[in-house]
Chain A
Amino acid sequence: MAAAISGCATLPTGFLKPGEGYLEKRSLQSRQYDTTDEKQILTAVAGVLQDLGFTLDDSESELGLVSASKKADATHGGQIAAAVMLDILGALGGASPNATAQCDKHQIVKASVITKPGLDGKKTVVRLTLQRIVWNMNNQVSRVETINEPQIYQKFFDGLSKSIFLEAQQI
């Protein structure tokens, strides 16, 4: 995997500069909760990650960090159908594009959650960041990317609100 990823020769510059729209990303990835009990929030975060089928990789309660990952299926009906079509067309034309082998097979999603006190001192800010690595049918890494879909983040935070409630009720 490392070899597949490190194939690039020239080093880009400027990748440690905040990109455009980093503030929007920050608000997409963060929510505030009306409590100063960071430990309670962290416990709830660990709970909701487990609810979503993640296994916890690392945590640091002093700084408010939980990182977790999950292996999941990445097959996509539409993609496979298109690839099969392409293969058939290729075969008819005498070529073998083997597009189905390039289809997504499975993925590892990595989640990292940071909690920190809000600026007014009465709230706790929770920020979630997500990445995924996708493998194709040949078991090669086909791409690595940051996940930016708002509905995925929303789903996590909905779960977190419920989890905080459940923890408070000792369920």
Chain B
Amino acid sequence: MKKRYRFFALLLILALMASGCATTANKAFVTEESQVQLRSIQTRAFDTTDKKKMMQNVISTMQDLDFVIDKADFTLGSVTGNKYLGNAVITMSVTVRPRGEKQLLVRANAQYGTTSIEDAATYQDFFTALEKSIFLTAQQID
């Protein structure tokens, strides 16, 4: 009788271990687009080396798009914010880093709820707004 309990206990432990192996963690690393394609959709280069000004423009563009800025780091060049659309949360982070001597690379990536945005047109909308914001600053119009 005692042996049988031990057997069941062992079975139970094995079952628990097996179910622990079937993790859903890999679901978080699935992307629809290829790595190269995703980068080209999410990244733009700008002919300026003024990182601070670029980051200020990124922040004000995000604010114009209704984002509330949660975090920013000048050294890393990152800005993170989120906005509410209906009952959904859109989270977006933008990074600014130098590209060569004369350019800055700006990369945006956004999530809608638990879905990563991989739609080129959506990112184009953001970069269009960003371009406009930089233009506005250059032209001294507020």
Kindly supply a per-residue 1/0 record for chain A positions 118-131, scoring 1 wherever the CB is within 8 Å of any chain B CB and 0 otherwise: 11000000010111
- Majority SS at the chain B contact face: mixed
Contact B63 A127 (CB under 8 A): yes
Whole-angstrom CA separation of A11 from B118 in the bound complex: 11
List chain B residues, Cβ under 8 A from A168. none
Whole-angstrom CA separation of A62 from B74 in the bound complex: 6
Contact A146 B72 (CB under 8 A): no
Contact of B69 (CB < 8 Å), options: A2, A12, A112: A112
List chain B residues, Cβ under 8 A from A12. 85, 112
A13 at interface by CB-CB < 8 Å: yes
B128 to chain A, nearest CB (A): 8
Contact B72 A8 (CB under 8 A): no
Contact of A57 (CB < 8 Å), options: B70, B89, B123: B70
Given contacts A11-B117, A14-B125, A67-B69, contact A131 B59 (CB under 8 A): no
List chain B residues, Cβ under 8 A from A26. 63-64
Q: Which of B86-107 contact A (CB under 8 A)?
A: 86-90, 92
Q: For residue B88, which residue of chain A has the nearest CB?
A: A8
A150 at interface by CB-CB < 8 Å: no
Contact A144 B87 (CB under 8 A): yes
Contact B119 A19 (CB under 8 A): no
List chain A residues, Cβ under 8 A from B7. none
Question: Size range of the interface on B?
Answer: 35 or more
Whole-angstrom CA separation of A8 from B119 in the bound complex: 17
Kindly supply a per-residue 1/0 record for chain A positions 16-46, scoring 1 wherever the CB is within 8 Å of any chain B CB and 0 otherwise: 1111001001100100000000000000000
The total of chain A residues at the interface (CB under 8 A) is 43
- Majority SS at the chain A contact face: mixed
Report B's interface with A, CB cutoff 8 A. Answer: 52, 55-56, 59-60, 63-75, 79, 81-90, 92, 110, 112-115, 117, 119, 121-123, 125-126, 128-129, 137, 140-142
Q: A2-B89, A8-B112, A63-B55 are in contact. List 18 more A-B contacts (CB 8 A).
A: A2-B113, A8-B86, A8-B87, A8-B113, A11-B115, A12-B112, A16-B65, A19-B65, A25-B64, A29-B63, A60-B72, A67-B71, A116-B56, A118-B142, A127-B63, A129-B69, A131-B68, A131-B83
Report A's interface with B, CB cutoff 8 A. Answer: 2, 4-8, 11-19, 22, 25-26, 29, 57-58, 60, 62-65, 67, 110-112, 114, 116, 118-119, 127, 129-131, 141, 143-146
